A = this chain, B = another copy of it.
Amino acid sequence: MNDPAPEMVSACVLIIGNEILSGRTQDANLAFLAQGLNEVGIRLREARVIPDDAATIIETVNEARGKFDYVFTTGGIGPTHDDITSGSIARAFGVELIVHPEAKRILESHYPPGGLNEARLRMAQVPEGAVLLPNPISRAPGFRIDNVFVLPGVPQIMQAIFNELKHRLKGGAKMLSRSVSCTLGEGTIAQDLAALQERYGDLEIGSYPYFRRSDFGVTLVVRGTERARIADAIDELKTLIRTLGGDPQEGLADD
């Protein structure tokens, strides 16, 4: 694992699954992981959705684990023929895929006698050297190897495993955010907003237009690690909105 700078610890999420790329399934894991990582001071810097294809998984995992402090994968660790994530990650690390004795024991005690068939035993396979990640719901564990965390795709199970492990992750400064909305057009406020961003180079000011049935407007989001600086920028934003004839509505603080 890279030695992360104290200020910014980065992560990449790899969503593995043909069902997301075909549009059959709407991904529900990315936003959850993004928020959960932020809570412990880790910034999601990239996410990729890739197919159940061994060569693609191997190449993508190797690129991501060198580039980011943490990598989280979801999907492809079940018992069926299209679950090829564990084997692909073993190949990415150049190690054997082994049956983990503790994982096998967990599955043996979960299924009725004789129920742990050859297919289900695949869920005990991990790359040599991997550490198990406990699954409080359906027992079949995820695993970690080096800086790569391998999680299932089913949201409820992925979330349960992630919630068990997240407080052991080593984060940096937590990103805080506040937002203010108004019914001005983005183009009306854009120039002054750019000037404000210039003066607050340590903050990240995002502008997100919204369109609803009855109105449209813009939500301005201020992100940074210093609460007082964010408060200053939000105050200036409110004044700016009023000056331009708008009515600033502060959103709930996200932090």
What class of interface size applies to chain A in its complex with B? 35 or more
CA distance A19 to B197 in the complex (A): 17
CA distance A97 to B198 in the complex (A): 22
Main secondary structure of the interface of A (DSSP, over half): mixed
Chain B residues with Cβ below 8 Å from A122 are: 190
CA distance A189 to B43 in the complex (A): 40
Asked if A204 CB lies within 8 Å of chain B CBs, one says yes
**A145-174 interface bits toward B, Cβ cutoff 8 Å, 1 = contact, 0 = none:** 000000000101100000000000000000
Return the 6 tightest CB-CB contacts between A and B, nearest first.
A23-B34, A119-B190, A23-B35, A81-B194, A120-B187, A80-B207
Chain B residues with Cβ below 8 Å from A52 are: 206
Asked if A248 CB lies within 8 Å of chain B CBs, one says no
Picked from B44, B79, B190, the residue with its CB within 8 Å of the CB of A23 is: B44
Picked from B51, B81, B175, B190, the residue with its CB within 8 Å of the CB of A81 is: B190
Residues A80 and B32 in contact in the complex (CB < 8 Å), given A23-B38, A177-B22: no
